Amino acid sequence: MCLACRAPTDPGAAMSGETSIPPSGPLSGLRILEMEALGPLPLAGTLLAGFGADVVRITRAGAAATPDPVVRGRRVMTLDLKSGPGRAMLLDLVAHADALMEGFRPGTMEKLGLGPADCHAANPALVYARMTGWGQDGPLAQEAGHDINYIAVAGALGRIVGEGGRPGLPINLVGDYGGGTMPLLFGLMTALWQARATGRGEVIDAAMVDGTATLMAKQYAWHGQGHLGAPGTNLLDGGAFFYDTYSCADGRHVAVGAIEPKFYAALLEVLDLAPADLPPQHDKARWPEGRRLFAARFATRARDEWVTLAEGRDACLSPVLTLDEAIDHPQAQARASFARAADGAVLPLAAPRFGSMAGQRMQAEGNTETDLATLLDDWAAGRADQDWERT
């Protein structure tokens, strides 16, 4: 549908508020509809907005607000998707959007008359991105779950050793964000590239259980080849004494990752240990012995003393920082890695960085309510400027 020929809509059915064309960036002109959700989807929308996309978050009329400090830099429209007018308004937006992201249980959007077939009837070039824990099919597709459940079934949680041999919890970085947000964004941008070339849209089935398994590619390969030992006995999972964390005299911790011989040698110099004092670096049977010696040595000094001793020596020794310490760390300060929003939230700079985007960051601004007529007028103006108008 040509933007200039869009059907009139009922402005009284939407919320009003001031809006503006989104800031410039490599994704400027990209129009994304984000159905309100938790977990991976909000971060995906914020990253897209941080790079210039116009992200419009659709919230449900009558639903209790779910505060999420990551949700910033968007325009927001509240619609009653169970009503005919609300559904029609969303399909009007779909007709002029590049992509829609949703995170409901499989079948929910279809029940609302807003599934992929309905949306592609309005816009054949639309990229329809679906984010779930288990995927759109399979025996668990309709089961509830959270990050911990998805990474457990993906095999990742069982490889992370915690206290007493219990699986450790990597907060919700692995399933929600590593296995959810990142594959969702990769799939979205891949499908948009395809749609640009072909004019055909796509349906993306992004599942956290699949994304987490993808992150485990090397672990699964080693396992299949018979090269992976039990959890906690391998090079990168806490088995190696030269790739682990240690308590210091002040109760704080350091992380060491001295794998290569030259880095291992530098670490031993920092610790004032001779190779003869320790078992051979790669003698797995004696790694526990090496760990005991390292633990005893690290316990003799405070964390920051070790950091100072290791500075500039390529010993692969780093402090384990609190969030406040990470914000104030010289590396973060030099790269202006964090910004503080008016509501007190600390926001990291958007990653990766583009050389042409000085001061690029995740949006610190709040969200702005909008209405359908204003939004479509903005989109029409933006597309006319860029000569991207659909016919």
Enzyme catalytic residues: 146, 176
338-340 and 346-348 strand pairing:
antiparallel
Asked if 244 and 238 touch (Cβ cutoff 8 Å), the reply is yes
Number of CB atoms found within 10 A of residue 132's CB: 26
Nearest alpha-carbon partner for 271 in 291, 288, 286: 291
Q: How many CB atoms lie under 10 A from the CB of residue 224?
A: 9
Antiparallel, parallel or unpaired: β 54-60 and 31-35 = parallel
- With 0-12 CB in 10 A as exposed, 13-18 as middle and 19+ as buried, what is 178? buried
Largest CA distance in the chain: 82
CA dihedral over 37, 101, 170, 166, signed as positive or negative: positive
* CA–CA separation, 389 and 95 (whole Å): 12
Q: Of the candidates 266, 269, 264, 267, which has an alpha carbon nearest to the alpha carbon of residue 280?
A: 264
Residue type, 335: R
